[in-house]
Chains A and B, each alone.
Chain A
Amino acid sequence: MATEVKQGGQDAPRTDRGPETTPSRSLEPRTLVRPGIILVLLAFVLLALPSLFSTYYVDASTQTAIYAIVALGLGVLVGRVGMVSLGQAAVLAIGAWVAARLLFATSLPFPVVLLASGLITMVLGTLVGLPALRMSGLYLALITLMLAGAITVVLATTNFPNGGHGFLGYNGSSVHIPPIRRPSAAQGDTAFFRYSVIISILMFLLVLGHLRSKPGRAWAAIRQSQSAALAAGINVTLYKLWAFALASFVTGVAGGLLAGSLHYLYSIDFQTQDSITLLAVVLMGGAYSMWGAILAGFLLQFLPQLFTSWGISPDWLTILFGVGVLQVLTTAPRGIVDQMPKDMARLGRLLMRVVRRPEPSTSGET
């Protein structure tokens, strides 16, 4: 392929570029570095991490993995298609409700329940996305927030299933509430952590597959210019709904994992404003990157536990996230995952300069 393009350049008038721009499609060692690093990281997370952590932090890590999926879904909407949804925490609640209901009512294997809650949430979440076809920006954000509020109200009155009968599966007078079951292979906290990480990997791969193919290209076009997308033959309506469907599916699966990890679900744990915090951390982490989703999950679920163990109230995080979003929006629109390596490189250069210079003229850096 590469040589063909070069030939093409020769009969064209502009051949001002030298051979250094030869396309590198082949699997050079350089292109294998990234997957290699990811594999090592995954092996570390799956094998070594649980033994380094206490149960407290293993649980926090499980939540981090689960919320990374939620952030991933929101990242698709905000970062890839440019649709700001403030309803994703409510979509997560729907996923958790459906999964809990199925886990109590049936003896289906856990993965099947995850799949089912993903699919059912996908249908409902796509309905949440319907307003996106008519509006965008602030109005879409507002409408999805209202929808999220409505869902929260409904959940507050129906409550989460707790082993009762009927469609709602809620028994208000029950004294001995049975826990929501976990997969038989992952009963313990460490096993369930590994299970959650593996499911998140699958969700990340699902989204990556979308981004690298036809829908990803269509979304990029829609985000930049709807007219350019239409002129390219892209059915904008279909692909916008597709994005909501994908985001809702992964969020529904995350809801299923959440049900299993917590054992008990209470409607008070799902607040409308969680969606706003979610958007804030997704923007902070980096809505355009898959790594940003992992960072968002960490900020949202791991950091509060760290704060608690340090004796600081996690409520301070709201302020921290506010400052973080401000910082990101003004100086690093692509998020922390994009900014960190650049800052590190800059710091490295700065340190090198300080080290090389014999007399410390700038005393502050070291």
Chain B
Amino acid sequence: MIEVSEMTVRFGGVTPLDKMSLRFERGTCGLIGPNGAGKTTFFNVLSGFVRPVSGSVTAFDEDLLKMVHYRRARWGLRRTFQTEQAIEELSVFDNVAMIHEHSKLGGGSRRQEVIDAIRFVGLDIDPDTKVGGLGAGQRRMVEVARAVVGRPRLVLLDEPAAGLPDDETEHLGNVIRRIPEHSEALTILVDHDMSLVSACCEVTAVLDFGKLLASGPTAEVLRDERVIRAYLGTEDTGEHDS
């Protein structure tokens, strides 16, 4: 469970998040919105890269904002980046082990858990392969493996399907759907691919201009007229027609 209340972020004169409140219970949740709606800023606040002016984040009964950023991985926060950040110099195994060794959360042998994570995302390659030699889709999966290894509590996926061909997006969707049962983590998926969001998320929230526009079961939210208008950008004329 994660509860965000009244969160405001300001960069100079820009306000990417404006008293945004949000609540996700469990499973895989979607977070959508037009470009510049504040989705990545929200992730960066959760990661500790951006400090909000006001507001609070309670995740599993703990105040997330009080934690030092690098401690949050140990607590169970994981994320992927819009521009994929698999570490090229390291092998697939080391990429995943790197997170595991900085976030010890209970038992289990590291080697086994790392291999499990690589297996979970369906990477059928030698774990000792250097990431630098992998293709874009495989690198994405390495990042996802990093996000699910150990015992994550909150997994943030920032446009994981960006730039992937359809078949790899489908595979990615299959993996994302299985994250909650694999690790009992709450997963938040940001993506512009609505079919991926529909396929993975039972509930979805929509951000627009830094505010929560709508939230609820994904199918309903995607039919919501305000949401359609926010995406198509026909706020004034749309109001009169309907």
Contact = CB atoms under 8 A, between A and B. Distances in A.
Interface of A: 1, 4-9, 11-17, 21-25, 214, 217-218, 220-221, 223-225, 227-228, 230-236
B51 interface: no
Contacts of B49: 227, 230
B124 A15 contact: yes
B88 A5 contact: no
B70 A13 contact: no
A251 B60 CA distance: 47
Could you say which of A6, A14, A21 has the most chain B C-beta atoms within 10 Å of its C-beta? A14
A159 B138 CA distance: 58
Contacts of B47: 227, 230-231
Contacts of B118: 5, 8
Interface string B126-148: 11100000000000000000100
Contacts of A17: 124-125
A221 B98 contact: yes
Contacts of A8: 115, 118-120, 122-124
B69 interface: yes
B45 interface: no
Given A230-B48, A231-B73, A9 B122 contact: yes
Q: From B69, B119, B174, name the one whose CB has the most chain A CB atoms within 10 angstroms.
A: B119
A235 B128 contact: no
Given A13-B174, A227-B49, A231-B73, A214 B101 contact: yes
B72 interface: yes
A14 B171 contact: yes
B65 to A, nearest CB: 15
A4 B126 contact: no
16 contacts: A1-B127, A7-B119, A12-B123, A17-B124, A217-B90, A220-B94, A221-B90, A227-B49, A227-B81, A230-B47, A230-B48, A231-B47, A231-B81, A233-B102, A234-B102, A235-B70
A23 B70 contact: no
Contact of A228 (B81, B89, B97): B81
B26 interface: no
Closest 7 A/B residue pairs (Cβ): A8-B119, A12-B122, A233-B73, A9-B124, A233-B102, A228-B85, A23-B126
Nearest to A4: B115
A5 B89 contact: no
Contacts of A232: 73, 98-99, 102-103, 146
B188 to A, nearest CB: 14
B122 A13 contact: yes
Contacts of A11: 122
A233 B124 contact: no
A226 to B, nearest CB: 9
A214 to B, nearest CB: 5
A233 B87 contact: no
A23 B122 contact: no
Contacts of A5: 115, 118-119, 124, 126-127
A336 B119 CA distance: 38
Contacts of A14: 122, 124, 171
B50 to A, nearest CB: 11
Interface string B39-66: 0000000011100000000000000000
A5 B121 CA distance: 11
A18 to B, nearest CB: 10
A244 B87 CA distance: 21
A19 to B, nearest CB: 11
Contacts of B79: 231
Nearest to B43: A231
Contacts of B182: none
Contact of A21 (B72, B90, B126): B126
Nearest to B103: A233
A191 B209 CA distance: 73
Contacts of A217: 87, 90, 94, 97-98, 101
A243 to B, nearest CB: 14
Chain B CB within 10 Å, residue with most, of A9, A21, A25, A231: A231
B229 interface: no
Contact of B128 (A4, A23, A221, A233): A23
A228 B86 CA distance: 8
Among A24, A228, A236, the one with the most B-chain Cβ atoms within 10 Å of its Cβ is A228
B125 A224 contact: no
Nearest to B102: A233
Residue among B74, B79, B87 with max Cβ neighbours from chain A (10 Å): B87
Contact of B119 (A4, A21, A227): A4
B139 to A, nearest CB: 12
Interface in B65-111: 69-74, 77-79, 81, 85, 87-90, 94, 97-99, 101-103, 111
Nearest to B78: A231
A256 B120 CA distance: 51
A142 B51 CA distance: 31
A140 B119 CA distance: 41
Of A4, A14, A233, A234, chain B has the most CB atoms within 10 Å of the CB of A233
